[in-house]
Every structure is written in C-alpha cells, then in structure tokens.
Amino acid sequence: MADWNILAAAPEWILAGTSLLLLWVDARAHRNRRGSPGGIAATGVALATVAVLVQTLAVGAGKERAFLGAYAVDAFSLLFKLLFGLTSLLVMAMANTWLKRVDRGHGEFHLLLLFATMGMYFVASVEDFAGLFVSLELITVSFYCLAAFKRNDERSVEAGVKYVVLGSFASAFLLFGIAFLYGATGSLRLDALAEASHVRDLQYGGGPLLQFGLLLTLVGLGFKIAAVPFQVWTPDVYEGAASPVTAFLAMGSKAAGFTLLLKVVRACLGPAGGAGLAQAGPWIALIAVLSAATLLYGNLGAMWQGNIKRLLGYSSIGHGGYVLMGVFALDQAGFAAVLYYLLAYLFTVLGVFSVVVVMSGETKSHRIEDYAGLGRRSPLLALVLTCGFLSLAGVPPLGGFFGKFLVFRAVVAKGTTLAYSLAFVGAAGVVISLYYYLMVVRRIYMEEGKSSEPQPPIAIAPVLRVALYGCLTGVLLTGIFMGPFIGLAESAAGAFLALVGR
C-alpha cells in the first residue's frame, strides 16, 4: 500500500535540520554571542509551520501515508501541528524575555524546545505504538531537562527530578500496556487495534488481554494529560520549572497527550461504522469518572493557591477534565469540541504565561499578592491577564467560553443520565473556577501595590509585546467569530473519524 513517501514529513525534516544547524552553530559560537539561537529556532519553526500550511492545502480532506503506513498526514494531524508550531513560537517569544535573566545555555534551551516541538509533530502523525512511544519519549525527555534548566535553583531541580521519577514510571506503564496490546492484536498498528476492538470479536479470547493493555496505556497517557489520579506532579513541576517551560508544558505537552489519547480512543471505536470497545458501558463510565474527578480536583485545588504558577498548575488539571468531557462524547462533535477547546486554550494560557514571565522578572516572585495594583502599572498586562483568566473561566465573548460551550453541547447531546450528571459537575466546576480566577482579577484592579509612591511602568520587550497582542486577538477572535475555527475543528474531527485503516 503505502511506500516511504518521505516528503509527507517535510515539516519534521525542517525541524530536524534546524536542530542540527543550531547544534552546529552553538558548538562553534563564542560564549558572548547571544540572540542568534532564538532566531534560528524561531525561523525553523516558522518554516515548518509554513510547510504545514502548504500541506493543509495539498491534503485537503484526504489522508496521506508515509513510512510504510506508520505515519499519516491528514486534516487532524495538520491542525495539531499548527497548534504545536504556534505554541512553540509563542514560547520562544517568552524565552526571549526570560533568557535575558539567564547568562548561559541559550543554545541548549532552544535546542530542547526544538526537540520537544519535533516530538509533538511526530505525535500528531504517528499511526503505530512504537512511533507513539518514541515520539512521546522525545517530548518527555526534553521536558525533563527543560524543567531542571535553572540548575542553581533548588525548586527547578526538584521539579526536574520529580518529573523524571514519575514520568519514567508512567512511561513504564505505557510500555507495559503496549506490550499487552501487541500480544492481543499481534501488531503495533493502531489500525490493528481498531480491528481487534470490534465488540463482536471481544467475545472470544483476546478481550481481557486487550482491555488490560488499554488500561495500562491509559495510565501512561493519563500522566501526560495530568488526569486524576496521575496528576500529583503537576503543581510542583509547574511551580519549579521556568515560566516559558511551564507554558510549553501546559499547552504543548498536554495537547500532545490528548492527541495520543484521541488516537487510542479513536482506535477503540472500532473500524469505521462498527461498534467498538470504547462504547462499552464500563469504558464510558471510566472516562466520565476520570473527567469529573479531574475537573473537580483541579478546580478545588486551585482555590487555595497563593502562587500564580501553582494556581495555573491546578487550573490546567481542571481544564484537562473539561477536555476529557469532550472525549467522553466519543463522536465528531466531541472531538471537534476538544480541538476547539485546545485552540482557544492555546491563546488563553500562553497569553497568561507571557504576563507571568514579565511579572516574574519584575517582582522576582510568583506570589499572587505581588500582582496588586497591576491595573494601574501596566494596563496591557492587566488586560491580557484578565481576558486570559476570564477566558479560562469560560466567560463570553472570549474563546474559552465557546470551547466550554462546545464541550457541554457534545456531552448533553448524549442524553443519558451519566452525561447529564457529568454536565452538571462540569457546571459546578465553572463556578468554582470563576471564584479563583476572579480573586486574581481582584488583586489586579481592586488592590493597590504595597509601596505608596507610584511605581514605574513595566517595560515589555517588543517580541513579547507582539505575542501579547497576538494572544489577546486570538482569544477574542475564537470567542466572537467562531465560524472559521469551528469549521477547521469539525473538518479535522471528521477526517479523523472517517478515515481509519485505509
């Protein structure tokens, strides 16, 4: 069927080439030459993004296979690559400001970012479990180093170690699960899993093996998306890692985890038209329980945080719960809701982290009380942070609202008692989350800074300023003119569901 077709992976080649170039340049550069690694890396990602856009036009609604079928390019994977590219670029804009405070390792930092981005691109396209594991490890290992990047900072090292220990544990589970799945299906391909998980076939033999394997796989992926009960690492790592890294973790790594989860879940829906394992009662209930527990844990935990990065850590757990609500629906509407949610989340959360990067340089801390009086000091930062938080809380006319709306819509469409219960739990989560987001907004606008004399306005680097305006625009566009974005998400979800095993 499919041959090597290596050009289908053009964006990944570009990233790989850039990484090698960066490695070479960095090895030869003198210590005092700064700024260039960021430029090279950003250019590479931008070129890869252009390649993705060209592919989007070329592929359309179809599907292109590569590497003997282990790799696929369709609307779904391209949309994710677009998300990852944008994320990476915005994170580099943050790193541009953040690295000014660090006088070493600019090359390594960007190199690691590139590796992680490349891993995410692979994740979007892989079609078998070997590729899945390798690309996931590429991301995770890069993040181990990134989390511990501030090697003089105790918290950063702690974050790195914690992430390594728990991450490798999760990877082991994933590998174990994959082994079981291989045993049950005799193949590493996702297609094979789709065939095998047809409900009819499960009557015989392979059932328990397959289901056990799936459960273990779910554990491994649950760690990546920080679903309860695999979420404990999140607040600590978020707090300890450098802010741009945390931003990348919150958006990129999480979205990558969801990409894989969607792929596995899609495979468990069985071959096109058939009824798959995932539709079986216990699995649906499992997703519902995971989703409800995750969103409640995240939102309840965030209520008590005094550190903005810990707060964002807990809140990102909560958002994982909402995305799982979209997965729960197991249909096109649900998957489209997941995609839209992640798209809106990208602009929102990266906008928020851009502000955090600036503020941490300004106040040398991440305490929320240091945000008091921000409304007067820097209207732009205050506006981006407020819009970001309100969007995270799901307030119209901001992107996060429509993402949540689509998720709720997909869940209520199921019409079962379980679905309604999940929707009501989600609704409770919205109210809780509004509370702690508004507590930060309150600091920004309703409280004055500690010092009585007016503080100087905050300087924002031009690159980051562009990023801030970009995120703000994105949040508003996805909240008001949702037509084109939902079209994108629906066609990607449609392509994802329609074409399996071909």
Partner 1 sequence: MSLLAFLAPAVAAVLLFFTDPARKAHIRRVAALATGTSLFAALAMWIGYDTGGEKYQFLFEIPWVPSLGLAFRLGADGISVAMTILTAVVLFTGMFVSRSIEDRVKEHYILLLLLGTGVFGVFLSLDLFFFYFFYEMAVIPMYLLIGVWGSRAAQYSKEYATMKLTLYLTAGAVLALVGLLAVYFAGGGTFDLRVLEQTSLSVAFQRAWFPVIFLGFACIIPMWPLHSWSPIGHAAAPSAVSMLHAGVLMKLGAYGVLRLGYGILPAGAEHWMGWVALLCCMNILYGGFVAMAQRDMKFIIGFSSSSHMGYVLLGLATLGVTGITGAVFLMFAHGIMTALAFALIGFFYEQTHTRVVDDLGGMLKQMPFIGVCFVIMAMASAGLPGFANFASELLIIVGSWESGFSLAGTGITVRYLPTIAAIWGIVISATYLLRAVRTAFFGPENPRWASLKDAVTPVQKLPYLILAALLVFTGCFPGTLVETIESGVRKLECVFRVEEARR
Query: CB–CB of 471/351 below 8 Å?
Result: yes
- Find the DSSP H helices in 29-125: 36-59, 75-98, 106-125
Q: Is 490 in the site for partner 1 (CB under 8 A)?
A: yes
| Segment near partner 1 (CB under 8 A); pick from 278-286, 432-440, 449-457, 465-473 | 432-440
Task: Candidates 8, 434, 440, 488: give the one binding partner 1 (CB under 8 A).
Answer: 434
In the list 261, 395, 460, 495, the residue contacting partner 1 (rule: CB under 8 A) is 395
- The dihedral over CA atoms of 486, 479, 341, 369, expressed in degrees to the nearest 10, equals 170
What is the DSSP code string of 319-341? HHHHHHHHHHH-SHHHHHHHHHH
Tell me the window of 41-49, 271-279, 439-447, 457-465 that interacts with partner 1 (CB under 8 A).
439-447
Residue 65: beta bridge partners? 72
CA atoms within 13 A on the CB side of 22: 29
Least distance to partner 1, CB of residue 484, Å: 10
Q: Are 210 and 270 in contact (CB under 8 A)?
A: no
Q: Which of 411, 143, 407 is nearest to 257 (CA)?
A: 143
Is residue 413 close enough to count as binding partner 1 by CB under 8 A? yes
Cβ proximity of 317 and 297 under 8 Å: yes
- What would the two tokens of residue 436 be? 């702690």
Q: Is residue 105 involved in binding partner 1 (CB under 8 A)?
A: no
Q: From the CA atom positions of the chain, what is the Rg in Å? A: 22
354 Cβ neighbours under 8 A, 6+ residues apart: 90, 93, 94, 247, 384, 464, 467, 468, 471
DSSP string, 162-192: HHHHHHHHHHHHHHHHHHHHHHHHSS-BHHH
- One-letter identity of residue 337: A
Q: Does 13 bind partner 1 (CB under 8 A)?
A: no
Read off the tokens for 126.
Answer: 């892989």
Q: Which of 350, 401, 467, 495 binds partner 1 (CB under 8 A)?
A: 401
Give the integer Cα–Cα distance in Å for 372 and 363: 11
Minimum distance, C-beta of residue 413 to partner 1, in the bound complex (Å)? 6
Cβ-count burial of 288 within 10 angstroms (0-12 exposed, 13-18 middle, 19+ buried)?
Answer: buried
Segment interacting with partner 1, rule: CB under 8 A, options 98-106, 275-283, 312-320, 424-432: 424-432
Q: Which stretch binds partner 1 (CB under 8 A): 120-128, 223-231, 302-310, 406-414?
A: 406-414
Q: Tell me the closest approach of the beta carbon of residue 394 to partner 1, in angstroms.
A: 8
Mark the segment that binds partner 1 (CB under 8 A) among 3-11, 323-331, 366-374, 441-449.
Answer: 441-449
Smallest gap from Cβ 470 to partner 1, in A, equals: 17
Residue of 4, 24, 420, 469 that binds partner 1 (CB under 8 A):
420
Residue from the set 24, 304, 435, 469 that interacts with partner 1 by CB under 8 A? 435
Binding partner 1 by CB under 8 A: which of 405, 455, 463, 498? 405
Residue 397 beta carbon to partner 1: minimum distance, rounded to whole angstroms: 6
Q: How many residues of this chain interact with partner 1, rule: CB under 8 A? A: 31
By CB under 8 A, name the one of 102, 157, 161, 438 that touches partner 1.
Answer: 438
Q: Does 417 bind partner 1 (CB under 8 A)?
A: no
Please tell me whether residue 61 binds partner 1 under the rule CB under 8 A: no
Q: Which of 73, 216, 330, 430 binds partner 1 (CB under 8 A)?
A: 430
Out of 13, 169, 212, 445, the residue judged to bind partner 1 by CB under 8 A: 445
Closest by Cα among 220, 104, 232, 224 to 173: 220
Is 423 a binding residue for partner 1 by CB under 8 A? The answer is: yes
100 belongs to the binding site for partner 1 (CB under 8 A): no
Q: Which is nearer to partner 1, 61 or 413 (CB)?
A: 413
Report the Cα 32 to chain-centroid distance in Å.
Answer: 34
User: Residue 170, class by beta-carbon neighbours within 10 Å (0-12 exposed, 13-18 middle, 19+ buried)?
Assistant: buried
Instruction: Please report, as residue ranges, which positions from 468 to 487 form the binding site for partner 1 (by CB under 8 A).
Output: 482-483, 486-487
Asked whether position 409 contacts partner 1 by CB under 8 A, the answer is yes
> Among the candidate windows 224-232, 240-248, 283-291, 405-413, which touches partner 1 by CB under 8 A?
405-413
Write out 382-403 in H/E/C secondary structure: HHHHHHHHHHHHCCCCCHHHHH
Q: Which helix (H) or strand (E) holds 418?
A: helix 417-446
DSSP 202: G
* Token pair of 233 as six digits: 């690492």
**Of residues 188 and 471, the one with the C-beta less far from partner 1:** 471
Least spacing, CB of residue 158 vs partner 1, in Å: 34
CA separation (Å) from 213 to 126, 177, 244? 19, 4, 35
Name the helix (H) or strand (E) containing 344: helix 332-363
Does residue 390 belong to the site contacting partner 1 (CB under 8 A)?
A: yes
Q: Which of 58, 68, 431, 459 binds partner 1 (CB under 8 A)?
A: 431
State in angstroms the smallest separation of the CB of 333 from partner 1: 9
CB 122 within 8 A of CB 155: no
Cβ at position 299, least distance to partner 1 in Å = 13
Sign of the C-alpha dihedral computed for residues 365, 342, 351 and 444 taken in this order: negative
Q: Does 498 bind partner 1 (CB under 8 A)?
A: no
Q: Residue 228: what residue type?
A: V
Our finding on whether 397 is near partner 1 (CB under 8 A) is: yes
Q: Which of residues 344-373 bind partner 1 (CB under 8 A)?
A: none
> By the criterion CB under 8 A, which residues form the site for partner 1?
390, 395-397, 401, 405, 408-409, 412-413, 415, 420, 423-424, 427-428, 430-431, 434-435, 438-439, 441-442, 445-446, 482-483, 486-487, 490
